[in-house]
Amino acid sequence: MDKLVIEGGVPLRGEVEVSGAKNAVLPILAAALLADGPCRIDGVPALKDLDTMLRILRELGMEADRTADGAIETEVVDPSRSRAPYELVRTMRASICVLGPLLGRRKRAEVSFPGGCVIGPRPIDLHIAGLEALGADLRVEGGYIVADGRRMSGREVYLGGAYGPTVTGTANVLMAAVLTPGTTVVEHAACEPEVTDLARFLVAMGARIEGIGGPHLEVTGVDRLVGTRHRVIPDRIEAGTFLTAAAITHGDVVVRGADPSHLTAPIATLQRMGVQVERLPDRALRVRALERLRPTDVVTLPYPGFPTDLQAQFMATLSIADGNSFVTEKIYPERFIHVAELTRMRARIRKEGPTAIVEGVDYLSGAPVMASDLRASAALVVAGLAAHGTTTVDRVYHIDRGYERIEEKLAALGARIRRVSDRDRGGGDPAE
């Protein structure tokens, strides 16, 4: 198992380029199941989660290949297949987003029911209710959702839940509705940029969708969708992670290729912390932290609120602010697994219900820490960049699911970070 070894304390300087958004590409690749003819998706990062999605899509009769220039080309060659197997789905919850397009195009689906998740309970009841509202017949059998979409027709679908609307659930309903006769009205749709990007891809294929970007969507079913070409949006969470890396190290970094309009809440939060964030031409952001960071409160919310996927990285950054901050998680109230590891690095964080009280300390102290999920791992790397001494982040495969070449990108900014694999250490004890 690979580890990242970080010697902290170097202010990051220079420019870094953001990759395409993983959470946009995943549903967009699934949506390519709906097309008659080839699709080409540009700007696809090289990430483990995308490899998993490609394996699932191949199981579902799609040819899907990466090109040398970072694109994926797809074409459905065998539409008779409709089973997404447990062995693949269990490794990535986002696989559930093949359910909508399978129902929409093939009118049937068998998708393994996603299991537990380290960031808390992640039910799919809203996906199921949304598809049932369209007239699909869904039942659970042998660990699979077995779905029949032959009686689907345009109806009204409400997607709000106790923690706000559902991102992947909105994607599923949209993908099921675009080839369903009649008009589907989706209320309380998720407004995340990744959903908007999916909707734009569907429209480029010939779908009719009104209200894109908002919580009220109207979809008029069409008979057929054609192949198209699409460039995915930049990864706002990767960009936000670099912003925190610059802030926590008191660096001066230009983040290129990001869309600042997707980062309004994180940028406003950094500004409250005394960090200078300047919008440069051509989708670039310059971030400079010249003084001791100020504490501030963070509440995660559905977009355009502060994203839950940056909560951990901001908590790490606030752990060396000059005072107390309150970090409240409204999307996944149990998403605090990073707290214990940050505490091992000398952070002072106390959890009370869905809120973490972060008492800023003068400095963090490098330590061996364990990655537990994608964003918690990113937070440990961010903390390690600023900590005194050496931080070793174990189980780096979590980071590799969602960050493309993170150590290379950070090293190019001056960070002293390297990947150590068992092979490099002569196949030594992974526990050492």
Active site residues: 117
The reply to whether 377 sits near ligand EPZ by the rule CB under 6 A is no
Which residues of 87-245 form beta strands (DSSP E)?
Answer: 108-112, 137-141, 144-148, 156-158, 160-161, 164-165, 183-187, 208-210, 216-220, 225-226, 229-231
**How many CA atoms lie less than 13 Å away from 204 in the CB half-sphere?**
20
CB 169 within 8 A of CB 126: yes
The minimum distance between CB 277 and ligand EPZ, in angstroms, equals 22
Work out which of 250, 387, 402, 407 binds ligand EPZ, going by CB under 6 A: 402
Q: Indicate which single residue of 309, 341, 400, 407 sits in contact with ligand EPZ (rule: CB under 6 A).
A: 309
C-beta of 289 vs 327, nearer to ligand EPZ: 327
User: Among residues 94 and 245, whose Cβ is nearest to ligand EPZ?
Assistant: 94
Q: Is the preceding omega at residue 101 within 30 degrees of 0, hence cis? A: no
Binding of residue 403 to ligand EPZ (CB under 6 A): no
* Tokens describing residue 231: 């460039």
Place of tokens 């309903």: 173
Comparison of 145 and 275: residue with beta carbon closer to ligand EPZ = 145
Instruction: Kindly tell me which residue out of 37, 123, 214, 430 binds ligand EPZ, with binding defined by CB under 6 A.
Output: 123
Query: Does residue number 219 form part of the binding site for ligand EPZ (CB under 6 A)?
Result: no
**According to the binding rule CB under 6 A, does residue 51 interact with ligand EPZ?**
no
DSSP category for residue 37: S
Q: Strand runs (DSSP E) across 8-95, as ranges? A: 13-17, 35-36, 39-42, 62-66, 72-76, 83-84
User: Cβ 391 to ligand EPZ, closest distance in Å?
Assistant: 21
Residue type, 129: A
d(CA 32, CA 363): 48
Q: Does 240 bind ligand EPZ (CB under 6 A)?
A: no
What is the torsional sign of CA 150, 156, 162, 166?
positive
Nearer to ligand EPZ, 13 or 395 (CB): 395
The token pair at 256 is 């290129």
- The C-alpha atoms of residue 379 and residue 316 are separated, in whole angstroms, by 6
| Minimum separation from the CB atom of position 215 to ligand EPZ (A) | 13
The answer to whether 26 contacts ligand EPZ (rule: CB under 6 A) is yes
Q: Write down the least CB distance from residue 22 to ligand EPZ, Å.
A: 6
Which window, 119-127, 287-295, 315-323, 381-389, contacts ligand EPZ (CB under 6 A)?
119-127
> Rounded to the nearest whole angstrom, what is the least distance from the CB of residue 378 to ligand EPZ in the complex?
9
Per CB under 6 A, contacts with ligand EPZ among 149-188 are 161, 163-164, 166-169
Q: How far is CA 2 from CA 338, 367, 423, in A?
A: 19, 16, 9
> What does the per-residue mask of binding to ligand EPZ show for 52-91, with x meaning CB under 6 A?
----------------------------------------
Contact status, residue 285 vs residue 278, Cβ threshold 8 Å = yes
Taking the least distance from each CB to ligand EPZ, the nearer of 351 and 388 is 351
Rounded to the nearest whole angstrom, what is the least distance from the CB of residue 237 to ligand EPZ in the complex? 6
Strands (E), 93-247: 108-112, 137-141, 144-148, 156-158, 160-161, 164-165, 183-187, 208-210, 216-220, 225-226, 229-231
Of 164 and 227, the one with the shorter C-beta distance to ligand EPZ is 164
Cβ neighbors of 263 (< 8 A, separation 6 or more) are 236, 239, 240, 243, 285
**408 contributes a contact to ligand EPZ by CB under 6 A:** no
The verdict on 103 binding ligand EPZ (CB under 6 A) reads no
Q: How far is the CB of 7 from ligand EPZ (least distance, A)?
A: 27
Query: Residue 317, CB half-sphere, CA atoms under 13 Å: how many?
Result: 34
- 374 touches ligand EPZ (CB under 6 A): yes
* Positions that interact with ligand EPZ (CB under 6 A): 23, 26, 94, 122-127, 161, 163-164, 166-169, 190, 194, 308-309, 331-332, 374-375, 402
